A and B are shown apart, each in its own frame.
Chain A
């Protein structure tokens, strides 16, 4: 008893008169409806610019000095919560979140994305884009687009207006590895390249690596666009949808066994064809559609074991039916279709400091182009061109943390690629035959990698080595790909980074230049055709800082990149040579119609971004140069690559007006697309030998072209604006109306250009613009 009294006397003064310069707060974050604790909720204290993350019990402990504070709480699938507190003593309070989506804006609440800052990441050339950012950028006809959103970031651009072909640091569009849940996508576009193939509703976060590639990435030399699909909600049914001018899309996730097993499905389809045919008679013969579906399932077997299944399918169809009136034959179809199929299963095991991911997947791409004549009951003949690619992938990746500072990432990947780049199939009444126009078979590749990450107080390093082995036609080629990223912190929030990476690409994409039905042929390797290899050096300065509790980020980055073994068509050749039959029956020799060369690009990139607050957005500017050299063109001299755009400026903003209104805008300014034009012409006047009448001028003209890509189409610039109004919703249901205007001041930007020798009796460069001002409206909902 004595010691109890002693202890009481000892501590009593402290109990009665304690007054401190800070207080400890205990916040319990939970679901408003179920009272279930919410782990991994982020609570930002505005006044000190700091985030706290709730533990497995939904608890957060923080210490604050006396005063008024605003707590902004975010959590996936929950409405952002704002709570004002006055700290005068130690206390416990609760933060209850409504199950909703974080992008929903209620009253005058600011969207705070819980995105990691790129200045805190070790990789150079990293860009991060969240689903919130994608949804806040205005788009053509209201169709949100991942690729076009990415093109507003530094070092990235689209090939030409309205086209969803991404150019990264002067590289070709095929040099970008698009990964959807870790599986590569080969055909990345819908709707003749005007839309990217991935439904943005499906995406949770996009990470883009333009340099400083981690060792587990390989296979493309310009960039990696790693798109992470949303995880199905394990707690309740979630869904969202959008109805726009071009298409309707929807997504729903359903928990089958609560907190154990959930599935998610999404779909998108255009109704442009249905609407068009209903409104315009002339469109009855035109059938055009694009659609995509996805299905995924997440199964939490235990705390340590998780299985994920993912499936994605996309398809475009274009058919034009001619009747007898036009063609003189009973019926004819002229059409094209292309599709992607992705399927994969992943088992993830994580225990303590060790984790293992075993993944098996398939990615296939088909392109068909055909013409058929006949009647409804009798086919006279059908000619079909098709291109196939099938990719089977098996990957195992392990991560082991030796300590909090030293971490290992290692693994191996085995791939088989089966190629049929160009085949023509003829089916007639009395005969049928198939020609393989490019004699490509298959090749196997394997890669092993190991990378060590070191995280010091001031210094961080990531050093890795990837070994890629390509086996084809009895040949083997091994390429060692070292990757190094270094980061040194000058202060708590600023750092300098540098990187070197070497990366190889076995597949080449032969593309026609200009607009039209896309005929892209993926081709493999031969004795002459080697894998593309790129070496890239990058260095930069990165800083983030709070201003009145709002986080800003600034980065400057320079790069120098060389690429070997580029491939393109020789002058005078195009995909036409492969898409039509050769009556000799012999395949074309690919190496005779293609030329190989090398490229280099260099530049500096600047980004200033405001990440938090009522107003968020960024300004990015890139000054760069991209050059090619082919020994078959210009005597091997360097010339502008088709994607050289020296100046690239983007300004993107999103402002929350309050009461459910918000305004978004994006402005782009881009140097004109390089273009080759004739600088001299030798007109020859010919006569018809039968009638002796003169043929039109320039009918047999000899052109002397300028330096390759020596001229440019006019400078591209445009402004898009969108306004969104949050409509009055119900519990667990929100909906909104969005009005957007594409190309607000109706700038006639060049989508492509061509030479017209017949206009006004002289040569003309004709710039074609196909996107005037386009207002659109869409309706979206979420539950």
Chain B
């Protein structure tokens, strides 16, 4: 029971707190070029601040989701990518990460709940002994759901389901708001996150890259 209690506790999925990138701009740096493209980034790591479990995972993998807002007042569209953006953190250019680089990191592990299976089996096991009128001892054994095994199984299923759902929600929210490789149409404004390779946020800055014309 102690083992199952520990497993249930450890396997319990932590909720993901959705961050609205629009409201995430508490401290910010603004950069505007003459074409009218205004790009703003927040200097607070709001995703990690609001999601402690995710913060640890991101920090271990040196990733930060920085809230970024782009207002394209020019008459051309452009795509937010390494080719067009330069991201600065701690006064040094940093790498921006595509979703394929961080997707694995976003999920909480749920396979630990599989370890509950032997616990469920152990608690479901039963042995019954009866005596026939002729005085013959009969024994019967097998697996049968009881209160404990049922409760543990249920908690395991709930935990696993909840973890999968939280993972989906996290992934969906981040991917939906990932600005990297997004195209910003003329006259439109986009708000979202850009994932950078860094372990702490210090004076982040972003700008439209100077592309040399040949």
Contacts and interface: CB of A to CB of B under 8 A. Distances in A.
Interface of A: 8-15, 17-22, 24, 45, 48, 50, 52, 61-64, 90, 403-405, 456-457, 492
Which of A11, A61, A456, A457 has the most C-beta atoms of chain B within 10 angstroms of its own C-beta?
A11
A62 B203 CA distance: 12
27 contacts: A10-B76, A10-B78, A11-B78, A13-B75, A14-B33, A14-B84, A14-B210, A15-B210, A15-B213, A17-B34, A18-B33, A19-B32, A19-B34, A20-B31, A20-B207, A20-B208, A24-B86, A24-B88, A45-B91, A50-B90, A52-B91, A61-B93, A62-B91, A403-B60, A404-B62, A456-B59, A492-B202
Contacts of B208: 14, 18, 20
B26 interface: no
Contacts of A403: 60
Given A14-B78, A19-B33, 16 more contacts: A8-B213, A9-B76, A12-B76, A13-B76, A14-B35, A18-B210, A19-B34, A21-B30, A21-B31, A24-B88, A48-B91, A50-B91, A52-B91, A63-B91, A63-B92, A403-B60
A15 B212 contact: yes
Given A21-B30, A21-B205, A52-B92, A90 B76 contact: no
Which DSSP category, helix, strand, loop or mixed, fits chain B's interface?
loop
Interface string B128-170: 0000000000000000000000000000000000000000000
Which A-B residue pairs are the 5 nearest by beta carbons? A17-B34, A63-B88, A13-B35, A20-B207, A11-B211
B50 interface: no
Contacts of A20: 31, 33, 207-208
Contact of A22 (B77, B88, B200): B88
Interface in B173-214: 199-200, 202, 205, 207-213
A738 B133 CA distance: 114
Contact of B37 (A8, A10, A14, A404): A14
Contacts of A13: 35, 74-76
B108 to A, nearest CB: 19
Contacts of B32: 19
B51 interface: no
Contacts of B199: 404, 457
Nearest to B202: A492
A403 B61 CA distance: 9
B58 to A, nearest CB: 11
Contacts of B210: 14-15, 18, 90
Nearest to B87: A63
Interface string B28-48: 011111110100000000000
Contacts of A17: 33-35
B151 to A, nearest CB: 36
Interface residues of B, number: 34
A325 to B, nearest CB: 79
A52 B84 CA distance: 25
Nearest to A11: B211
Which of A21, A90, A405 has the most C-beta atoms of chain B within 10 angstroms of its own C-beta?
A21
Contacts of A19: 32-34
A405 B199 CA distance: 11
A455 to B, nearest CB: 10
Nearest to B84: A14
Given A11-B84, A14-B35, A22 B205 contact: yes
A20 B88 CA distance: 12
B211 A15 contact: yes
A403 B207 CA distance: 32
Contacts of B90: 50
Contacts of A456: 59
B39 to A, nearest CB: 9
B55 to A, nearest CB: 8
Nearest to B34: A17
A586 B79 CA distance: 94
Nearest to A63: B88
A696 B32 CA distance: 99
A492 B37 CA distance: 33
Interface string B88-109: 1011110000000000000000
A64 B207 CA distance: 12
B205 to A, nearest CB: 5
A191 B59 CA distance: 55
Nearest to B30: A21
B61 to A, nearest CB: 9
A15 B78 CA distance: 12
A405 B62 CA distance: 10
A697 B131 CA distance: 112
Nearest to B33: A18
A492 B34 CA distance: 36
A10 B84 CA distance: 11
Contacts of B31: 20-22
Nearest to B78: A10
A295 B209 CA distance: 54
Contacts of B60: 403-405
Interface string B48-90: 0000000000011010000000000011111000001010101
B40 to A, nearest CB: 11
B77 A457 contact: no
A62 B89 CA distance: 10
Contact of B34 (A9, A18, A52): A18
Contact of B93 (A8, A14, A24, A404): A24
A8 B213 CA distance: 8
A80 to B, nearest CB: 21
A36 to B, nearest CB: 24
Contacts of B202: 492
A544 to B, nearest CB: 15
A492 B93 CA distance: 21
B91 A457 contact: no
B30 A64 contact: no
B128 to A, nearest CB: 50
Contacts of B211: 11, 14-15
